[in-house]
Amino acid sequence: MAMTGVLRPGHVQIRVLDLEESINFYANVLGLVETGRDAQGRVYFKAWDERDHNSVLIRQADTAGLDFVGFKVDSVATLNKLEADLKDYGVKTERIPAREMLETGERVRFLLPTGHTFELYAEKTDIGNGQPYINPEAWIPAAEHGIAPVRLDHLLCYGPDIEKAQAILQDVLGFYLVEHIELEDGSGDLAIWLSTSIKAHDIAFVRHPEPGKLHHVSFLLDSWEKVLRAADLMSINRVSIDIGPTRHGVTRGTTIYAFDPSGNRFETFCGGYQSYPDGKPIKWTMGDVGRGIFYHDRTLNDSFLSVVT
């Protein structure tokens, strides 16, 4: 498919309880690259193979969780058009000035019915990945520092009115439904997986009574062996693991779920199939939801269902 419009998840801002402890975790355990700090006290990171200046921001707060998620669009013209389309759809938007976030252009911010703050932006400084654009090497030995994910991949959000969020993302921003878990009575969905690319998902939602909750932010690794290596590093560094290494039925990805020092869940993820918008969405029923989420164990654990920030 032609990659136009909304391209991919570009950044998340996460609240942490102890900034210095979290800087050490994200830099040395997860293995992200610190790229800056700003006057607001935010610390900026990116994955080693990302070229844009940042994808993860952390700030100290009294409670853990997600401040906002930003998706990159293909041009300023697209940003302006999508802002107008959102307003026509009845969604209130706000313009965040350029450089309010380091090395990032203007952002269009709005609130999804699930209670999550969503942003669109077109411009972010390309600081590279340590490789030239001409005749690069296949990989960078320094990238093996920590778990060393390739990039920010997706996130899962918990909140109410997921069907209303789905409508905005599909009708206005061009996302499409890839997989869903249908409620037992058939009245709607418990969970939805949406893509704006050829990935199995770029964002997912689970129906939950409290708005604006984060289940996890996911980081891409490039092989099952790297997922297993991540498990070793988590054990060496005494990281609290929720579940894994294991495999999903939904999306077919291999995974570990674990927690940062503040209790924010993160995922190290690999695999998943390629998806296209002309494909028919895959439906899972509640009777087989355990196998859908954890394909090997075929059951859900309590913390995976209930712990959110």
Catalytic, out of 180, 201, 208, 215 = 201
Burial readout 201-233 (b: 16 or more C-beta within 10 A, e: otherwise): bbbbbbbbeebbbbbbbbbbbeeeebbbbbbeb
Task: Return the structure tokens found at 268.
Answer: 């190290």
Residue 117 β-bridge partners: 111
Q: Are 233 and 146 in contact (CB under 8 A)?
A: yes
Gap between the Cα atoms of 194 and 188, Å rounded: 16
Catalytic, out of 26, 44, 158, 257 = 257
Q: Sheet with 253-259: list strands edge to edge.
A: 240-247, 253-259, 265-271, 213-220, 151-159, 203-207, 189-195, 176-182, 282-285
The region that residue 238 occupies, defined by phi over 0 for left and psi between -120 and 50 for alpha, beta otherwise, is left
Catalytic, out of 154, 180, 208, 215 = 154
Q: Of 202, 205, 200, whose CA–CA distance to 167 is shortest?
A: 205
Whether 158 is a known active-site residue: answer: no
Whether 248 is a known active-site residue: answer: yes
Gap between the Cα atoms of 251 and 178, Å rounded: 9
Gap between the Cα atoms of 109 and 83, Å rounded: 9
Whether 154 is a known active-site residue: answer: yes
Whether 89 is a known active-site residue: answer: no
Q: Are 154 and 201 in contact (CB under 8 A)?
A: yes
Catalytic, out of 11, 116, 208, 248 = 248
Gap between the Cα atoms of 183 and 189, Å rounded: 5
Catalytic, out of 180, 208, 215, 216 = 216
Enumerate the active-site residues. 154, 201, 216, 248, 257, 267
